[in-house]
Amino acid sequence: MSFELSIDIFVVVILSLIMNLSYPPSQVLLYGLAIAAGLVYFPYIFVAFARVTNDYDMSAPRAMFDRLPEYAKRASWAHQNSFEVFMLFSASALMVYVSGNSSEYTNLLVIGFLGSRVLYSVGYIADIPILRSLMWAGSMTAIASLMTRSFGI
């Protein structure tokens, strides 16, 4: 089986699972908020690992940034960006929740946002600028789409 075929099968399986969610759309919004809050710390796992393997200095943790390997510096930047984007996502998800305009479409937007944020962090840490940029654009598109859905558009 070719690599492309296995990716196609994976995508079909994931999409079929998404389309068969048994949760109401408003609940997906709330679960998405909780998962997004956890994803803020996903890149920080790599920073913590680098700190532990580089003789972490408890007396000056911020000064240690210069001694971190490049992947850990990028992970720190991805972590900081995750905080910034989480604020926008939480506002947009809560706008949809409060307006009562949640739907299967908003489910896809929430799941798309979460997936793009995971891949954004991976792209940032692995230093793949095109992946990072595309996933950032995807997550911002999901946020903008959620905001427009809250107005019933």
| Terminal Cα distance for the chain, rounded | 43
Dihedral of the alpha carbons of 136, 131, 9, 115, in degrees to the nearest 10: -30
Q: Does residue 96 lie in a domain region? A: yes
d(CA 77, CA 113) in angstroms, rounded, equals 19
**pLDDT at residue 133, rounded to an integer:** 95
Residue 140 in any domain: the answer is yes
Q: Which residue has the tokens 């962090």?
A: 121
pTM: 0.82
Query: What is the pLDDT, as a whole number, of residue 1?
Result: 47
Confidence band of 3 (pLDDT split at 50, 70, 90): very low
pLDDT in tens, 20-76: 656 777 888 899 999 999 999 999 999 888 888 877 666 766 777 778 889 989 999
What is the number of domains present in the chain?
A: 1
Mean pLDDT, residues 79-98:
95
Residue (of 94, 95, 146, 89) closest to 117 by Cα position: 89
Question: Shortest CA distance to 36 belongs to which of 134, 145, 109?
Answer: 109
- Exposure string for 27-61, b = 16+ CB within 10 A, e = fewer: ebbbbbbeebeebbebbbebbeebbeeeeeeeeee
pLDDT attached to residue 144: 96
pLDDT of residue 123: 95
- The residue segments making up the domain with residue 52 are 23-150
CA–CA distance, 149 with 85 (Å, rounded to integer): 18
pLDDT single digits (tens) 132-147: 999 999 999 999 999 9
Q: Render pLDDT for 98-151 as a digit per residue (tens, 0 to 9).
A: 999 999 899 999 999 999 999 999 999 999 999 999 999 999 999 999 999 999
CA distance 125 to 26: 32
Coarse DSSP helix, strand, coil percentages of the chain, rounded to the nearest 5 percent: 80, 0, 20
Asked whether the beta carbons of 22 and 61 are under 8 A apart, the reply is no
Residue 104 is assigned to a structural domain of this protein? yes
Phi, psi of 139 (to 5 degrees): -70, -35
